[in-house]
Structure 1
Protein backbone atom coordinates (compact mmCIF):
# COMPACT_ATOMS: atom_id res chain seq x y z
CA UNK A 1 0.00 0.00 0.00
CA UNK A 2 1.27 3.44 -0.91
CA UNK A 3 0.40 6.46 1.17
CA UNK A 4 0.64 10.14 0.43
CA UNK A 5 -0.82 12.95 2.51
CA UNK A 6 -2.70 15.42 0.30
CA UNK A 7 -4.88 18.47 0.77
CA UNK A 8 -8.23 18.82 -0.92
CA UNK A 9 -8.88 22.05 -2.80
CA UNK A 10 -12.31 23.60 -2.44
CA UNK A 11 -13.52 25.84 -5.25
CA UNK A 12 -16.62 27.95 -5.69
CA UNK A 13 -18.30 27.75 -9.06
CA UNK A 14 -19.80 30.73 -10.84
CA UNK A 15 -23.21 29.82 -9.41
CA UNK A 16 -21.78 29.74 -5.87
CA UNK A 17 -21.84 25.99 -5.31
CA UNK A 18 -18.84 24.35 -3.69
CA UNK A 19 -16.72 21.77 -5.54
CA UNK A 20 -13.70 19.82 -4.38
CA UNK A 21 -10.62 18.55 -6.16
CA UNK A 22 -7.67 16.41 -5.17
CA UNK A 23 -4.48 15.94 -7.15
CA UNK A 24 -3.31 12.35 -7.62
CA UNK A 25 0.34 11.51 -8.19
CA UNK A 26 0.85 10.96 -11.95
CA UNK A 27 2.81 7.77 -11.27
CA UNK A 28 -0.23 6.26 -9.52
CA UNK A 29 -2.53 7.38 -12.34
CA UNK A 30 -0.23 5.76 -14.90
CA UNK A 31 0.02 2.57 -12.83
CA UNK A 32 -3.78 2.32 -13.01
CA UNK A 33 -3.49 2.44 -16.79
CA UNK A 34 -5.11 5.85 -17.08
CA UNK A 35 -4.16 8.48 -19.63
CA UNK A 36 -5.66 11.50 -21.35
CA UNK A 37 -7.29 9.10 -23.81
CA UNK A 38 -8.40 6.52 -21.21
CA UNK A 39 -9.59 8.56 -18.25
CA UNK A 40 -12.83 6.90 -17.16
CA UNK A 41 -12.75 5.68 -13.54
CA UNK A 42 -15.19 4.18 -11.04
CA UNK A 43 -15.28 5.84 -7.64
CA UNK A 44 -16.78 4.05 -4.64
CA UNK A 45 -17.44 5.29 -1.13
CA UNK A 46 -17.15 2.30 1.19
CA UNK A 47 -17.69 3.37 4.76
CA UNK A 48 -15.04 6.00 5.43
CA UNK A 49 -12.91 5.02 2.42
CA UNK A 50 -12.97 6.28 -1.16
CA UNK A 51 -11.80 3.77 -3.75
CA UNK A 52 -10.84 4.76 -7.31
CA UNK A 53 -10.69 1.97 -9.90
CA UNK A 54 -10.22 1.80 -13.65
CA UNK A 55 -12.58 -1.19 -13.85
CA UNK A 56 -15.79 -1.74 -11.89
CA UNK A 57 -15.57 -3.83 -8.73
CA UNK A 58 -16.51 -7.48 -8.97
CA UNK A 59 -19.45 -8.46 -6.81
CA UNK A 60 -18.25 -10.22 -3.69
CA UNK A 61 -21.18 -11.29 -1.53
CA UNK A 62 -19.17 -11.32 1.70
CA UNK A 63 -17.55 -7.94 1.05
CA UNK A 64 -20.93 -6.42 0.11
CA UNK A 65 -22.47 -7.91 3.29
CA UNK A 66 -19.63 -6.40 5.33
CA UNK A 67 -20.32 -2.97 3.84
CA UNK A 68 -24.07 -3.36 4.45
CA UNK A 69 -23.47 -4.58 8.00
CA UNK A 70 -21.39 -1.49 8.82
CA UNK A 71 -24.07 0.83 7.43
CA UNK A 72 -26.84 -0.98 9.30
CA UNK A 73 -24.77 -0.98 12.51
CA UNK A 74 -24.39 2.81 12.27
CA UNK A 75 -28.16 3.24 11.91
CA UNK A 76 -28.80 0.98 14.91
CA UNK A 77 -26.27 2.99 16.94
CA UNK A 78 -28.13 6.18 16.02
CA UNK A 79 -31.78 5.22 16.34
CA UNK A 80 -31.41 1.93 18.29
CA UNK A 81 -33.29 -0.21 15.74
CA UNK A 82 -33.71 -0.70 12.02
CA UNK A 83 -36.62 -2.03 10.03
CA UNK A 84 -36.02 -4.83 7.52
CA UNK A 85 -37.22 -2.68 4.58
CA UNK A 86 -34.51 -0.13 5.40
CA UNK A 87 -31.92 -2.90 5.23
CA UNK A 88 -33.25 -3.95 1.82
CA UNK A 89 -32.83 -0.36 0.56
CA UNK A 90 -29.23 -0.25 1.82
CA UNK A 91 -28.52 -3.56 0.09
CA UNK A 92 -30.09 -2.37 -3.19
CA UNK A 93 -27.90 0.73 -3.08
CA UNK A 94 -24.78 -1.37 -2.50
CA UNK A 95 -25.67 -3.73 -5.35
CA UNK A 96 -26.35 -0.77 -7.65
CA UNK A 97 -22.87 0.54 -6.82
CA UNK A 98 -21.34 -2.75 -7.97
CA UNK A 99 -23.38 -3.11 -11.15
CA UNK A 100 -24.47 -0.78 -13.89
CA UNK A 101 -27.53 -1.65 -16.03
CA UNK A 102 -28.31 -4.79 -14.03
CA UNK A 103 -31.55 -6.61 -14.87
CA UNK A 104 -34.26 -6.59 -12.20
CA UNK A 105 -34.32 -10.38 -11.74
CA UNK A 106 -30.53 -10.59 -11.30
CA UNK A 107 -30.65 -7.63 -8.90
CA UNK A 108 -33.39 -9.31 -6.84
CA UNK A 109 -31.44 -12.58 -6.73
CA UNK A 110 -28.40 -10.72 -5.42
CA UNK A 111 -30.52 -8.85 -2.85
CA UNK A 112 -31.91 -12.16 -1.54
CA UNK A 113 -28.43 -13.71 -1.36
CA UNK A 114 -27.01 -10.67 0.40
CA UNK A 115 -29.90 -10.53 2.89
CA UNK A 116 -29.21 -14.12 3.95
CA UNK A 117 -25.50 -13.43 4.46
CA UNK A 118 -26.30 -10.23 6.35
CA UNK A 119 -28.91 -11.94 8.52
CA UNK A 120 -26.35 -14.62 9.46
CA UNK A 121 -23.93 -11.81 10.36
CA UNK A 122 -26.57 -10.26 12.61
CA UNK A 123 -27.34 -13.51 14.36
CA UNK A 124 -23.64 -14.11 14.99
CA UNK A 125 -23.28 -10.64 16.49
CA UNK A 126 -25.10 -8.79 19.23
CA UNK A 127 -28.29 -8.10 17.27
CA UNK A 128 -31.69 -9.68 17.57
CA UNK A 129 -34.91 -9.28 15.63
CA UNK A 130 -38.66 -9.35 16.17
CA UNK A 131 -41.18 -9.88 13.43
CA UNK A 132 -44.85 -10.15 12.69
CA UNK A 133 -46.75 -10.65 9.44
CA UNK A 134 -45.86 -7.21 8.08
CA UNK A 135 -42.74 -5.90 9.81
CA UNK A 136 -39.35 -7.01 11.08
CA UNK A 137 -36.99 -4.95 13.22
CA UNK A 138 -33.38 -5.55 14.25
CA UNK A 139 -32.04 -4.13 17.52
CA UNK A 140 -29.15 -4.43 19.96
CA UNK A 141 -29.96 -7.44 22.15
CA UNK A 142 -27.46 -6.33 24.79
CA UNK A 143 -29.55 -3.19 25.40
CA UNK A 144 -33.09 -4.42 24.75
CA UNK A 145 -35.16 -7.57 25.11
CA UNK A 146 -38.20 -7.13 22.89
CA UNK A 147 -40.36 -10.19 22.26
CA UNK A 148 -42.77 -8.60 19.76
CA UNK A 149 -42.92 -5.87 17.13
CA UNK A 150 -45.57 -4.14 19.25
CA UNK A 151 -43.20 -3.94 22.25
CA UNK A 152 -40.47 -2.35 20.13
CA UNK A 153 -42.84 0.10 18.42
CA UNK A 154 -44.39 1.09 21.74
CA UNK A 155 -40.99 1.58 23.40
CA UNK A 156 -39.67 3.75 20.54
CA UNK A 157 -43.12 5.29 19.96
CA UNK A 158 -43.16 4.36 16.29
CA UNK A 159 -46.43 5.45 14.76
CA UNK A 160 -48.07 3.21 12.19
CA UNK A 161 -48.58 6.20 9.87
CA UNK A 162 -44.81 6.47 9.32
CA UNK A 163 -44.42 2.80 8.48
Structure 2
Protein backbone atom coordinates (compact mmCIF):
# COMPACT_ATOMS: atom_id res chain seq x y z
CA UNK A 1 0.00 0.00 0.00
CA UNK A 2 1.21 3.47 -0.85
CA UNK A 3 0.50 6.44 1.40
CA UNK A 4 0.72 10.11 0.63
CA UNK A 5 -0.42 12.97 2.84
CA UNK A 6 -2.37 15.55 0.81
CA UNK A 7 -4.46 18.63 1.47
CA UNK A 8 -7.99 19.17 0.25
CA UNK A 9 -8.74 22.54 -1.31
CA UNK A 10 -12.01 24.20 -0.33
CA UNK A 11 -13.46 26.54 -2.95
CA UNK A 12 -16.44 28.85 -2.69
CA UNK A 13 -18.67 28.97 -5.75
CA UNK A 14 -20.38 32.09 -7.06
CA UNK A 15 -23.55 31.12 -5.20
CA UNK A 16 -21.62 30.77 -1.94
CA UNK A 17 -21.64 26.97 -1.63
CA UNK A 18 -18.45 25.07 -0.84
CA UNK A 19 -16.77 22.65 -3.22
CA UNK A 20 -13.69 20.54 -2.64
CA UNK A 21 -10.80 19.35 -4.79
CA UNK A 22 -7.90 17.05 -4.17
CA UNK A 23 -4.91 16.66 -6.46
CA UNK A 24 -3.81 13.06 -6.92
CA UNK A 25 -0.28 12.06 -7.90
CA UNK A 26 -0.14 11.58 -11.68
CA UNK A 27 1.73 8.28 -11.27
CA UNK A 28 -1.17 6.84 -9.24
CA UNK A 29 -3.69 8.11 -11.79
CA UNK A 30 -1.72 6.49 -14.62
CA UNK A 31 -1.41 3.24 -12.63
CA UNK A 32 -5.21 3.14 -12.49
CA UNK A 33 -5.24 3.37 -16.29
CA UNK A 34 -6.75 6.84 -16.35
CA UNK A 35 -5.96 9.50 -18.90
CA UNK A 36 -7.45 12.65 -20.38
CA UNK A 37 -9.49 10.41 -22.68
CA UNK A 38 -10.46 7.84 -20.03
CA UNK A 39 -11.20 9.82 -16.89
CA UNK A 40 -14.40 8.28 -15.50
CA UNK A 41 -14.00 6.88 -11.98
CA UNK A 42 -16.25 5.39 -9.30
CA UNK A 43 -16.01 6.71 -5.73
CA UNK A 44 -17.10 4.64 -2.74
CA UNK A 45 -17.30 5.76 0.88
CA UNK A 46 -16.83 2.66 3.01
CA UNK A 47 -16.75 3.45 6.70
CA UNK A 48 -13.92 5.94 7.18
CA UNK A 49 -12.37 5.34 3.75
CA UNK A 50 -12.95 6.79 0.30
CA UNK A 51 -12.08 4.40 -2.50
CA UNK A 52 -11.48 5.46 -6.12
CA UNK A 53 -11.87 2.79 -8.81
CA UNK A 54 -11.68 2.86 -12.57
CA UNK A 55 -14.22 0.06 -12.91
CA UNK A 56 -17.28 -0.44 -10.69
CA UNK A 57 -17.30 -3.12 -8.02
CA UNK A 58 -18.75 -6.48 -8.96
CA UNK A 59 -21.05 -7.90 -6.32
CA UNK A 60 -19.16 -9.90 -3.73
CA UNK A 61 -21.21 -11.43 -0.92
CA UNK A 62 -18.36 -11.39 1.62
CA UNK A 63 -17.51 -7.75 0.90
CA UNK A 64 -21.17 -6.68 1.03
CA UNK A 65 -21.65 -8.57 4.31
CA UNK A 66 -18.53 -6.94 5.79
CA UNK A 67 -19.75 -3.45 4.84
CA UNK A 68 -23.25 -4.23 6.19
CA UNK A 69 -21.86 -5.72 9.41
CA UNK A 70 -19.82 -2.55 10.04
CA UNK A 71 -22.89 -0.36 9.43
CA UNK A 72 -25.11 -2.47 11.69
CA UNK A 73 -22.45 -2.53 14.46
CA UNK A 74 -22.31 1.25 14.29
CA UNK A 75 -26.10 1.54 14.71
CA UNK A 76 -26.16 -0.98 17.58
CA UNK A 77 -23.37 0.93 19.34
CA UNK A 78 -25.53 4.07 19.23
CA UNK A 79 -29.08 2.72 19.61
CA UNK A 80 -28.22 -0.53 21.49
CA UNK A 81 -30.42 -2.56 19.11
CA UNK A 82 -31.49 -2.74 15.48
CA UNK A 83 -34.65 -4.02 13.87
CA UNK A 84 -34.50 -6.63 11.12
CA UNK A 85 -36.20 -4.36 8.55
CA UNK A 86 -33.55 -1.69 9.19
CA UNK A 87 -30.90 -4.26 8.32
CA UNK A 88 -32.73 -5.08 5.09
CA UNK A 89 -32.76 -1.37 4.17
CA UNK A 90 -29.02 -1.17 4.87
CA UNK A 91 -28.41 -4.20 2.64
CA UNK A 92 -30.50 -2.72 -0.20
CA UNK A 93 -28.62 0.57 0.08
CA UNK A 94 -25.24 -1.18 0.06
CA UNK A 95 -26.14 -3.25 -2.99
CA UNK A 96 -27.46 -0.18 -4.83
CA UNK A 97 -24.57 2.06 -3.77
CA UNK A 98 -21.55 -0.20 -4.07
CA UNK A 99 -22.50 -2.66 -6.80
CA UNK A 100 -23.74 -1.05 -10.00
CA UNK A 101 -26.05 -2.71 -12.53
CA UNK A 102 -27.96 -5.14 -10.30
CA UNK A 103 -31.62 -5.51 -11.31
CA UNK A 104 -34.41 -5.41 -8.68
CA UNK A 105 -35.19 -9.15 -8.70
CA UNK A 106 -31.49 -10.03 -8.49
CA UNK A 107 -31.04 -7.42 -5.74
CA UNK A 108 -33.83 -8.99 -3.69
CA UNK A 109 -32.21 -12.43 -4.03
CA UNK A 110 -28.89 -10.95 -2.91
CA UNK A 111 -30.56 -9.29 0.09
CA UNK A 112 -32.01 -12.65 1.15
CA UNK A 113 -28.65 -14.40 0.85
CA UNK A 114 -26.86 -11.54 2.63
CA UNK A 115 -29.28 -11.50 5.54
CA UNK A 116 -28.41 -15.16 6.16
CA UNK A 117 -24.67 -14.43 6.10
CA UNK A 118 -25.18 -11.42 8.34
CA UNK A 119 -27.32 -13.33 10.84
CA UNK A 120 -24.66 -16.04 11.06
CA UNK A 121 -22.00 -13.33 11.58
CA UNK A 122 -24.06 -11.81 14.38
CA UNK A 123 -24.48 -15.10 16.16
CA UNK A 124 -20.77 -15.88 15.85
CA UNK A 125 -19.94 -12.47 17.28
CA UNK A 126 -21.42 -10.78 20.31
CA UNK A 127 -24.98 -10.23 19.06
CA UNK A 128 -28.21 -12.04 19.77
CA UNK A 129 -31.72 -11.62 18.44
CA UNK A 130 -35.29 -11.96 19.65
CA UNK A 131 -38.16 -12.61 17.32
CA UNK A 132 -41.93 -12.72 17.40
CA UNK A 133 -44.40 -13.13 14.55
CA UNK A 134 -43.96 -9.51 13.40
CA UNK A 135 -40.54 -8.21 14.48
CA UNK A 136 -36.96 -9.27 14.93
CA UNK A 137 -34.37 -7.25 16.84
CA UNK A 138 -30.61 -7.74 17.20
CA UNK A 139 -28.76 -6.54 20.33
CA UNK A 140 -25.49 -6.89 22.22
CA UNK A 141 -25.80 -10.17 24.13
CA UNK A 142 -23.04 -9.23 26.59
CA UNK A 143 -25.04 -6.22 27.78
CA UNK A 144 -28.58 -7.59 27.57
CA UNK A 145 -30.36 -10.89 28.12
CA UNK A 146 -33.73 -10.36 26.42
CA UNK A 147 -35.81 -13.49 25.88
CA UNK A 148 -38.69 -11.83 24.00
CA UNK A 149 -39.39 -8.89 21.74
CA UNK A 150 -41.70 -7.53 24.45
CA UNK A 151 -38.82 -7.44 26.97
CA UNK A 152 -36.63 -5.54 24.51
CA UNK A 153 -39.44 -3.12 23.57
CA UNK A 154 -40.31 -2.49 27.21
CA UNK A 155 -36.67 -1.88 28.15
CA UNK A 156 -36.05 0.57 25.30
CA UNK A 157 -39.60 1.95 25.42
CA UNK A 158 -40.22 1.14 21.75
CA UNK A 159 -43.80 1.83 20.69
CA UNK A 160 -45.62 -0.83 18.71
CA UNK A 161 -46.36 0.12 15.14
TM over 0.5: yes
Name 2:125's counterpart in structure 1: 125
Runs of 4+ in 1 over 6 A off after TM superposition: none
Instruction: Structure 1: give runs of 5+ residues left out of the alignment.
Output: none
Question: What secondary structure, in the 3-state scheme, does the structure 1 residue paired with 2:93 have?
Answer: helix
Aligned-residue offset at 1:13 = 1.5
Q: 2:75, 2:99 → 1: CA distance?
A: 24
Moved more, 17-26 or 77-86: 17-26
- Residue 100 of structure 1 deviates from its aligned partner by 2.7
**CA offsets per residue over residues 101-126 of structure 1, 9 Å max, x none?**
42111000111111111111000001
| Structure 2 unmatched runs, 5+ | none
Residue-by-residue CA offset, 1:22-49 (whole Å, 9 max, x unaligned)? 1100111111111111110011111111
Structure 1 length-normalised TM:
0.95
What value does the CA root-mean-square deviation take over the aligned residues? 1.0
Structure 1 equivalent of residue 135 of structure 2: 135
Which residue of the partner structure matches residue 55 of structure 1? Answer: 55
Structure 2 partner of 1:86: 86
| Structure-2-length-normalised TM-score | 0.96
Residue 66 of structure 2 corresponds to residue 69 of structure 1: no
Residue deviations 1:53-86, cap 9 Å, x none?
Answer: 0001121111110111011001000010000011
1:149 paired residue number: 149
Distance in 1 (CA, whole Å) between partners of 2:17 and 2:75 is 29
Counterparts of 1:33 and 1:156 in 2: how far apart (Å)? 52
